[in-house]
Amino acid sequence: MATYEKRRAAAAAPGPGPGLAEPPHAPLESEAEFLLRAGVTAMVREALLKVLEARPEEPVSFLADYFERLVLGSPGTAEEAAAQVPGPPQRLARALWYVRLAHHSHRTAFDSNAGAAYEVLGRGGRRRAAGVDGRVYSELLRHICQLGAAPAEAAAALLRRVRCRDHEAVPFDVFRYGVLTCFVLLEFTAKADALFGVLGGGCGTADGRVCQAVLRALEEALGSGRFALPGRYLEAGSKLGPDGLALAMDRALRERKLRSCMSREEFLKRATALFVAKVKPVE
């Protein structure tokens, strides 16, 4: 309505005086044409697809972060963005953001985001060939392992199994395997932490006999077969049913051993060591 009133007022205004030429009028651009020309339509469509893939708990915050990363990664602002983003360099920060968009159980979305991260890290300068080298790949894995509560020993041992040499070109399947394994380690650690919370009743320590019994049951579950995918380690751990755990803990309590305590740190360290031992090394 306001636009219509402005146009009517302009039409009613007196024209140019005698002898003055009428200024040419360019055809008005529609809203849809402007959005297409500016690239906004494709940008918003891509953002909505990312929301549908990741299905975050807070979509508005997700979109705000998405567009912020998009601006920081635009041409002409790379140097400024690298100085403003704390922690890892700008390209590494953007790759880390991509791989965190979707949970690894959402296979299609996770693979798509891993591919986007691989492409971002492979964009080198004029003197550097395209592709991801072992140094950048290992740096990304280290930053992923720092996102959760995984013990430093477990993270270091895992990186030794999935890393590549600094000068090596990392294929995408190796890149995806390493990224996926690191995220599974974080989830495995979180589940082990929750289990210890039950054993310890919310305290910092738990009965050592019970913890030993649970760790033995976990080792048996993980050792029940060979797993080709890291996600299967979580499936193996889920086989620890409440009945089986209850029997194992009951037997441990009936053993005539001196009562001992185990800390949360020690429990997580031993549980994650069982996980890392099952990870297939990168050849």
For 83-131, the pLDDT digits (tens) are 343 445 788 988 998 898 888 888 888 898 899 899 989 865 444 455 7
* Window from 50-54, 164-168, 208-212, 214-218 with minimum mean pLDDT: 50-54
pLDDT digits (tens, 9 = 90+) for 159-197: 999 999 998 999 999 999 999 999 999 999 998 898 888
Asked whether the whole model's pTM tops 0.85, one would answer no
DSSP string, the chain: -HHHHHHHHHHHS----TTPPPPP-PPPPPHHHHHHHHTHHHHHHHHHHHHHHH--S-HHHHHHHHHHHHHHTSTT-HHHHHHHS-SS-HHHHHHHHHHTSS-TTSHHHHHHHHHHHHHHHT---TTS-SS-BHHHHHHHHHHHHTTS---HHHHHHHHHHH---TTSBPPHHHHHHHHHHHHHHHHHHHHHHHHHHHHHTTSSEEEHHHHHHHHHHHHHHHTTS--SSTHHHHHHHHT--HHHHHHHHHHHHHS-----EEEHHHHHHHHHHHHHHHSPPP-
